[in-house]
Chains A and B, each alone.
Chain A
Amino acid sequence: MKQAHCIYQDEEHRWLAIARDASKPGYIIDTNEYVVVHGEEALLCDPGGIEIFPAVFSALSAECDPTRLAGIFASHQDPDIISSLALWLEFKPDLKCYTSWLWQSFLPHFGGQDSTFVPIPDPGMTIRLDGLELQAIPAHYLHSSGNFHLYDPKAKILFSGDVGAALLPADNNDLYVQDFSRHIRHAEGFHKRWMGSDRAKRDWCERVSRLEIDMLVPQHGAIYQGADVQRFINWFAALEVGVLRS
């Protein structure tokens, strides 16, 4: 059963991680969903697929008022990211969905109408959440051709979508990375196969190295914190990507 864990709190400003679902059917990839709460509003990052909607919805509702959801941030267009869109809109029809302009006319296949989508231009944009300024950081071609991460400069958290993802064994339910070198083995195959562009990868590493990041929170697997964040960036910078087999 999915549960929301508070991974950051500063008064009215919180990050919730809805992570690691041991009870979902094994043939569905495990996903993490994140909620940024600030004052009266909340933003849901990569809400996940249709199948896990009830679990995500109830986990979110246990920790925050779901009517405060103002928006959804979709890092890219994958079904494990955003196929539940219609259901969230069913609950709250005026939700805004922030996503790359590239996917603006594709995501309506999952639900929503023209007024639902806020297209993010290639260089990124600021997303405001009841006074808090969040940054959509370009991560194109990692792995999707229109791809964004979300940076919260106040909480120093970077939501990194599929970057940093690890396909962990079923018995590993740690919320945070415990042992980087052991953890990263479960990330290697995924990054080599899914991340298509070496140049995009180097650009991203450079871009995020300039940010102050306490936690790097991916859509699959465990959260990198403290020194593990830079460890991950260095590891990724050195990794050969876009290869079918190593």
Chain B
Amino acid sequence: MNAPEPNLHGIAPRTGELARIVRVNEEIKAIVATAFRINLMALNAIFLAKRAGNAALGFGVLSNELRRFAQDLTRHMASLREMTSGSVGSVTGVVQQQRMATILAAALKLSGDGVPGAREARRRGAARLAEQQIRLRSLDLRLRAAVEETQQLVELGGVLARSAKIEAAYGGSFSAALMQVSTDFAEVIAQIKRSLEVLGKERLVKD
């Protein structure tokens, strides 16, 4: 019984997973906020096109489409958010299980290998951990699939923004104002694209 006592403070807590979820959530929140901005911008664009009358008919149609796009995007983000908030429970389970397994392993090691019940306890712990990791992994897959779907939607948004730029050129005296609006659209959509790329790279579990 001369083994040194394990210092539990030396066992690094596995906080990486939760930190990742927080990052994913923050990214989603940023996209939701941007989608809201697109919605407002599209509304303004619709009014602007109405005022421009016949010269901006095409622009008006595109603004309506962009507005619908913003609403679709918000819906997508809401379901992504639901997924990540659900994953907090699973990740916490994994983190807890890992911490318990580490402390229990330290206890079993201190007691020498022959402790009755040690093997069963280890096996039970490993099984529970594996089960939780499988759950987390499938959540991760679903999250990735959802991000990809959203990326396709945003591609469509990009096309709409580019077309709006072209239409703005035919806006007559409203051309400069319409051009400004369509440039804003393009910028905001590029921003969303970047956020989605970051999201697509995040993994809830390490492989």
Q: Which chain A residues have a beta carbon within 8 Å of chain B's beta carbons?
A: 1, 3, 23-25, 50-51, 53-55, 57-59, 61-62, 65-67, 86-87, 90-93
Contacts and interface: CB of A to CB of B under 8 A. Distances in A.
B88 to A, nearest CB: 18
A186 B7 CA distance: 28
B121 A54 contact: no
6 contacts: A3-B1, A25-B9, A55-B5, A57-B110, A62-B111, A87-B100
B107 interface: yes
B104 A87 contact: yes
Contacts of B104: 53, 87, 90-91
Given A54-B8, A55-B110, A65-B117, 4 more contacts: A50-B8, A62-B111, A91-B117, A92-B117
Classify the secondary structure of A's interface with B. helix
Contacts of A91: 104, 107, 117, 121
A54 B117 contact: no
B16 interface: no
Given A54-B110, A57-B110, A58-B107, A90 B5 contact: no
A2 B178 CA distance: 78
B100 A86 contact: yes
B6 interface: yes
Interface centre among B2, B9, B107, B112 (most CB of A within 10 A): B107
Given A90-B121, A91-B117, A93-B124, A54 B6 contact: yes
Nearest to B105: A54
Given A53-B107, A61-B111, A67-B117, A90 B100 contact: yes
Contacts of A93: 124
Contact of A50 (B103, B110, B117): B103
B205 interface: no
Contacts of A25: 7, 9
Contacts of A57: 107-108, 110-111
A66 B117 contact: yes
B106 interface: yes
Contacts of A87: 100, 103-104, 107
A51 B5 CA distance: 11
Interface residues of B, number: 23
Interface of B: 1-2, 5-9, 100-101, 103-104, 106-108, 110-112, 115-117, 121, 124-125
A24 B5 contact: yes
A1 B108 CA distance: 15
A122 B2 CA distance: 43
Contact of A90 (B2, B112, B125): B125
A57 B121 CA distance: 13
Among B1, B5, B6, B116, which residue has the most Cβ atoms of chain A within 10 A?
A: B5
Contacts of B115: 61, 66
Contacts of B125: 90
Interface centre among B2, B103, B125 (most CB of A within 10 A): B103
Contacts of B9: 25
B121 A65 contact: no
6 smallest beta-carbon distances between A and B, as pairs: A58-B110, A57-B107, A67-B117, A54-B107, A58-B111, A61-B111
A54 B106 contact: yes
Nearest to A21: B5
A25 B117 CA distance: 29
Contacts of B101: 90
Contacts of A54: 5-6, 8, 103, 106-107, 110
Contacts of B110: 54-55, 57-58
Nearest to A65: B116
A24 B121 CA distance: 25
B120 to A, nearest CB: 8
A90 B106 CA distance: 13
Contacts of B108: 57
B2, B6, B100 pick with most chain A CB within 10 angstroms: B100
